[in-house]
Structures are given as C-alpha cells and as structure tokens.
Amino acid sequence: MGDLNVKKVILEIISIVAPDADLSDVKTDVRLRDQLEMDSMDFLDIVMELRKRYKIEVPKEDYQMLASLDSCVEYLAPKFAALSPA
C-alpha cells in the first residue's frame, strides 16, 4: 500500500473513531492530539480499529508513533506492506 493510501486509511479510521472531528484540513506534520482535540481514549481506538480492520498490532510502547499523520504513515506503511502479498 502506498503512502497516500496509508494516509487515507488513517483518516478513514479517525472519521470512525471521532466522527465529530473536522478532517477537511488536517496538517500532516502537526500532532493529531493538538489539531483534532483527540485524547488517549481516541488513540486507543485508532489502535483497536487497526487491529479490527487490518489485523495490524501496535504495541503500547509504539503509540507515540501515531502522533501525527506523517509519523503514522512512516510507522504503518511497512506494516501495511507486509500485509499485502508481493
């Protein structure tokens, strides 16, 4: 899965976890917590949705890797790549 698609998947998950968040203008390098008023419960849910939808595991010590969209892509792209055959 390309970086663009990973970004799309993350935004889709955020829209499920926090449907009341305004996602029209998310900056990729700013902490999601700051621009979308997301709390630790919301982050737990991003992790849980990744597991539910894609069987991707994010261990607790890596939660910080989900801080911004850029860091999400960097951290998750290899995990998504490992999922798709070839």
Partner 1 sequence: MHYDAIIIGASMSGLAAGIRLAYFDKRVLILERHYAYGGLNSYYRQDGHEFDVGLHAVTNFCDPNDRSAPLSKLLRQLRLTREDFDLRPQSYSQIKFPGIALNFSNDFALLEEQVARQFPKSADNFRKFVEDLREFNDTDLSKPYASARKTLQDRLDDPLLIEMLLCPIMYYGSAEPHDMDFTQFVTMFKSLFLEGFGRPPEGVRKIIKALVKKYRAVGGQIKMKSGVAKINIDADRMRGVTLDTGETLTADNIFSSAGYVETMALCGDKAKQPPPEETGAVSFVESIAVLDTKPKELGHDATIVFFNNAKTFTYAPPKELVDLTSGVVCSPNNYQDHDRLPNGIFRVTWLASPSAWSKLSESAYKDATAQCNEHVLKTLNSYIPSGTERLVCTDMFTPRTIERYTGHRNGAVYGSPTKRRDGCTPIKNLYICGTDQGFLGIVGAMLSGITVANLHVLSKA
Report CA-CA distances (Å) from 45 to 18, 51, 75, 82: 9, 10, 17, 22
Among 4, 41, 82, 86, binds partner 1 (CB under 8 A): 41
Is the separation of the CB atoms in 32 and 14 below 8 Å? yes
Among 11, 35, 42, 79, binds partner 1 (CB under 8 A): 42
Residue 71: both structure tokens together: 């860091």
Q: Tell me the window of 4-12, 36-44, 65-73, 77-85 that interacts with partner 1 (CB under 8 A).
A: 36-44
Is the separation of the CB atoms in 62 and 56 below 8 Å? no
- Determine the residue type at 83: L
Is 55 a binding residue for partner 1 by CB under 8 A? The answer is: no
User: HSE of 18 in the Cβ direction (CA atoms, 13 Å)?
Assistant: 20
Q: Tell me the window of 1-9, 24-32, 41-49, 74-82 that interacts with partner 1 (CB under 8 A).
A: 41-49
Among 4, 25, 29, 59, binds partner 1 (CB under 8 A): 59
Query: Interface residues with partner 1 (CB under 8 A)?
Result: 16-21, 37, 39, 41-42, 44-45, 48, 51-52, 57, 59-60
